[in-house]
């Protein structure tokens, strides 16, 4: 069996570098808007359970600014053992083999201007008795613009096409299926890509999957700031702000009821503030 420890470290180092690049670009946008807002970073340690020693932790990055009303960019690397019940739901884990490691980056941005789309992005590497990558990015505009949707999807299609035949069609469909609110019968946003269990059966497979995962992060860093700059100076009225706040309520419902990442964090002793940073700073239910 491959020792995935050095590969986990490589993935962790990349996720931290991606975080640094994203946060620097978002702070640059705030400066362009005349704001001095910056990310505040809070380290945390995973709560250990009986019999566990060092179980890892992470760093929560949070900024509240003029353009980014609330944006969180978190990186974590944790390891330990799943509870027997939860292990049954995880790829490659079981009550007999509940051990895991997980490293990843997670980002959610809620924007001050309702014309600017909110966004979610995450990529991660997990090991149980198997090893795999997962992640993606999806756009969540309260006031959708066809141009923004088309550009966002085109960027990720180019990335997917460069790394695997059929990747875009498969991972776009997965995002459409996953980011759906059944009790509302609506999608959370206008989609993007979502992939999981991209398994690494050997070192060569790991390198290929890691290259794709890095490209997903780089694509996000390239396309999303373009959309922010396109819309952040637009005027908006009270009705449009109300539409944004109501849409945020739907977003919160999805993340609290259906999101697997939220459940994973809560079930593995993650930092509560970091897990729930995805929730909007303000929302309404009419």
Structural domain contains residue 286: no
Structure tokens at 271: 């930092």
Residue 14 confidence (pLDDT): 98
Has residue 78 been placed in a domain? yes
Residue 28 lies in a domain: yes
Domain total in the chain? 1
Straight-line distance from the first to the last Cα atom of the chain, in angstroms, rounded to the nearest whole number: 54
pLDDT digits (tens, 9 = 90+) for 236-270: 999 999 999 999 999 999 999 999 889 888 877 77
Q: 285 lies in a domain? A: no
Beta strands in the chain (DSSP E): 40-45, 56-63, 68-81, 99-111, 118-127, 131-140, 180-181, 186-187, 191-199
Give the residue numbers spanning the domain of 37: 5-278
Has residue 283 been placed in a domain?
no
Question: What gap in Å lies between CA 223 and CA 219, rounded to an integer?
Answer: 6
Active site residues: 120
Does the residue 235 lie in any domain?
A: yes
And the tokens for 69?
């009303």
The answer to whether residues 247 and 142 touch, using CB atoms and an 8 Å cutoff, is yes
Contact between residue 116 and residue 232 where contact means Cβ atoms under 8 Å apart: yes
pLDDT digits (tens, 9 = 90+) for 152-166: 999 999 999 999 999
**For the chain, what is the mean pLDDT?**
93
Q: Token match 């009270």: residue?
A: 238
User: Is residue 229 assigned to a domain?
Assistant: yes
Nearest Cα to 12, choosing from 59, 54, 47, 53?
Answer: 59
Q: In the structure, what pLDDT confidence band is assigned to residue 274 with cuts at 50, 70 and 90?
A: confident
Within-domain flag for 133: yes
What's 180's domain CATH number?
Answer: 3.40.1500.10
């Amino acid at each position: 069996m491959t020792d995935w420890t050095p590969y986990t470290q490589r993935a962790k180092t990349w996720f931290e570098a991606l975080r640094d690049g994203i946060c620097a670009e978002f702070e640059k946008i705030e400066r362009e808007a005349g704001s001095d807002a910056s990310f505040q970073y809070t380290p945390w340690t995973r709560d250990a359970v009986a019999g566990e020693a060092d179980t890892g932790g992470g760093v929560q990055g949070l900024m509240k600014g003029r353009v980014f009303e609330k944006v969180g960019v978190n990186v974590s690397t944790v390891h330990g053992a799943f509870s027997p019940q939860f292990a049954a739901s995880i790829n490659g884990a079981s009550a007999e083999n509940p051990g895991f490691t997980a490293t990843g980056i997670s980002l959610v941005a809620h924007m001050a201007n309702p014309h600017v789309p909110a966004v979610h992005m995450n990529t991660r590497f997990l090991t149980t008795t198997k090893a795999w990558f997962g992640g993606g990015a999806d756009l969540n505009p309260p006031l959708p613009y066809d141009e923004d949707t088309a550009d966002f999807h085109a960027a990720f299609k180019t990335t997917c096409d460069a790394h695997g035949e059929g990747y875009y069609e498969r991972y776009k469909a997965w995002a459409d299926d996953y980011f759906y609110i059944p009790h509302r019968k609506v999608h959370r946003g206008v989609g993007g890509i979502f992939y999981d269990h991209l398994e690494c059966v050997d070192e060569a497979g790991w390198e290929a999957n890691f290259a794709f995962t890095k490209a997903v992060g780089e694509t996000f860093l390239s396309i999303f700031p373009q959309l922010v700059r396109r819309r952040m100076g637009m005027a908006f009225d009270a009705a449009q702000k109300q539409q944004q706040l109501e849409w945020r309520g739907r977003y919160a419902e999805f993340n609290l009821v259906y999101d697997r990442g939220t459940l994973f964090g809560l079930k593995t002793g993650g930092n509560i503030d970091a897990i729930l940073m995805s929730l909007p700073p303000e929302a309404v239910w009419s």
